[in-house]
Amino acid sequence: MSAGVLIVTGGARGIGAATARLAASRGYSVCVNYLTNRDRAVSIVSDIEKSGGRAVAVQADIGVESEIQSLFQTVERDLGRPTALVNNAARLEKQTRLDEMDAARLQRMFATNIIGTMLCSREAVRRMSTRAGGAGGSIVNVSSAATRYGSPGEYVDYAATKGAVDVFTLGLAREVAEEGIRVNCVRPGHIYTELHAAGGEPDRVDRVKAQVPMQRGGQPEEVASAILWLLSKEASYVTGAILDVSGGR
C-alpha cells in the first residue's frame, strides 16, 4: 500500500537525497526535484525503481514561481496528487559580512529559501486541503540551527531566511490545521552535506563540531529520519512543531 506522493525539493543531494531514499523505502512515490544536478537526481530515481518503488526526477528552480507551478503539475500527472512535501531546497553563498553583501545576493537568497518555500507550500495546500477537496497531507520545512545563533561573520542572510521559515511554519500550521494538513519543521545543526562548499568552506563541519555537545557533525540520514517521522501517522497530533536535529547545540 502506497504511503502517498511526496515532493522533495532540492532532492538530488544531502538531506534531500537521504529523505527521498528513505521515503521510497517506506512506500512513498517520490519526486526528486533538482536545479542542475540531473545525473544525481536520475541516479536516485533509478535506485528507487530498482528496489520496486516509484519515483520521478523533475527539474525546477524553486526561486521561480512558474517553475514551481510546473513542478507540481508534472508530479500530479506522473505520480498523482501530492500528499506530502519537504521544503528542502536552499541557497547558500560565500561566507562574508553583511557590509559586503549586495541587494542581488539577498534577493537570490530570499527568493529560494523563503519565497520558494512559501510558494511550494501554497501549491501543496491547494491540492491537500480538505477545503479544496483534497484528502489532507503533511508539509515539513527544513530550517537551520543558524536561526538560533545568526551565523555572524559568515552568512547572516542565510540565517535570516531560515528564521523566516520557522515563523512561516508556525503560522501556516495554524492556518490549515482544520483542513487536514500538518505543517512542521526540522532544524538541522552541523550536517555533513555539500552545501558548505557553496559557502566556500567544504570542511566547515569538522572545524565547528567541537561546539556541539555530542562532539560530532550529523549525517543527512539522521535528519531524514526526523523528517519521515514528522510526515508519518506516528506524528498525527504534531503540527506547528520545530524539531532540532543538532546534537544538542
CA distances from 23 to 20, 41, 55, 121 (A): 5, 15, 10, 19
Q: Which of 141, 96, 151, 93 is nearest to 120 (CA)?
A: 141
| Helices (H), ranges, 51-176 | 65-78, 103-110, 117-128, 156-176
How far is it, in rounded angstroms, from Cα 183 to Cα 104?
30
Tell me if residue 158 is catalytic: yes
SS3 56: strand
Choosing from 28, 34, 155, 158, the catalytic residue is 158
How far is it, in rounded angstroms, from Cα 191 to Cα 70?
31
Assigned C-alpha cell, 60? 525546477
Query: What are the φ and ψ backbone dihedral angles of 8, each rounded to 5 degrees?
Result: -115, 110
Assigned C-alpha cell, 67? 517553475
Catalytic residues: 158
